[in-house]
Amino acid sequence: MDKIIKVIKKYKIFLILLVINTVILIVKPSIGLKSFQLTKDNALEMLSILPPVFILLGLLDVWIKRETMIKFMGEKSGIIGVLLAFLLGSAAAGPLYAAFPVAAVLLKKGSKFSNVLIMIGAWSTTKIPLLLFEASSMGIKFMITRFILNIFGIAIIAYTVERFLSKEEIDKIYKNAALME
C-alpha cells in the first residue's frame, strides 16, 4: 500500500493532467480526442527512442573511466574537448530533453562545464540528421545560414552561462549530477 502511495505521489502532476485532459474530452470531445491522440503518438515515439539512449548511457557510465573523460573533455581538454562536445551533440538523436541525462553522465565523469553546455547546444539545434531534413524542406540556403549562426550561438550561450554561475553554483550542479543514478 505504501508503495502504491509513493508511486501515485511521484506521478501526481501527470495524473492531474490526465484528469484535465479527460475533462476536456467530456466538454469538448474534438479537442480532447486530438490531444489524447497526440499524447499517444508522442509517447510511442519517445518510448522507442529512450531505451537505446539509456542503455548506451548505462554502458558509458560503467565502462568509461573518469580519468579518460577528464583527459578528453575535462578542464584541460582545450579545443579537442570543444570539438568532441560539439560532435557528440550533433550526432545525437532524440529531442532536447534526452540530452539532459547525457549531460549528467558527462558531468559525473568530470567533463568541463562549458563543454557539457556545448553538447547541449549542439544537441538542441545542429543535429546532423535534422540538418539534411532542414535542407530538403527549407532550402539549402536557409539551413546553412542557420547552421553558421548556430555555431556562434552555441559557443556564446555555453560560455556566458558558465560565466553567470559562481564556482559554488557549478560545484552544486556537479554534485547533483553525481547523485543522479
Partner 1 sequence: MTTIGLYLIAGAALVVSFIKNKDKTMLSLKKAWKSLENILPQFLTILVIIGIALAILTPEQISSLVGRESGWIGVLVAAFIGSVTLVPGFIAFPLASALLKNGAGYMQIAAFISTLMMVGIVTIPLEIKYFGKKAALIRNMEAFIFSLAVAYIMGVII
Site for partner 1 in 1-20 (CB under 8 A): 10-11, 13-14, 17-18, 20
- Judged by CB under 8 A, which stretch of 71-79, 82-90, 164-172 contacts partner 1? 164-172
Q: Is 124 in the site for partner 1 (CB under 8 A)?
A: yes
Does the protein bind partner 1 through residue 48 (CB under 8 A)?
yes
Spatial contact of 73 and 111, defined as CB atoms under 8 Å apart? yes
> What is the pattern of x (binds partner 1, CB under 8 A) and - over residues 84-123?
---------xxxxx--xx-xx------------x--xx--
Interior CA angle at 55 toward 115 and 8, to 5°? Answer: 100
What is the smallest separation between the CB atom of 61 and partner 1, expressed in angstroms?
5
* Dihedral (CA of 81, 87, 88, 90) sign: positive
Strands (DSSP E) contained in the chain are none
**Residue range at the interface with partner 1 (CB under 8 A); choices 72-80, 82-90, 144-152:** 144-152
130 near partner 1, rule: CB under 8 A: yes
Name the amino acid, one letter, at 176.
N
- The H-assigned helical ranges of 64-164 are 66-73, 78-91, 99-108, 113-125, 128-138, 140-164
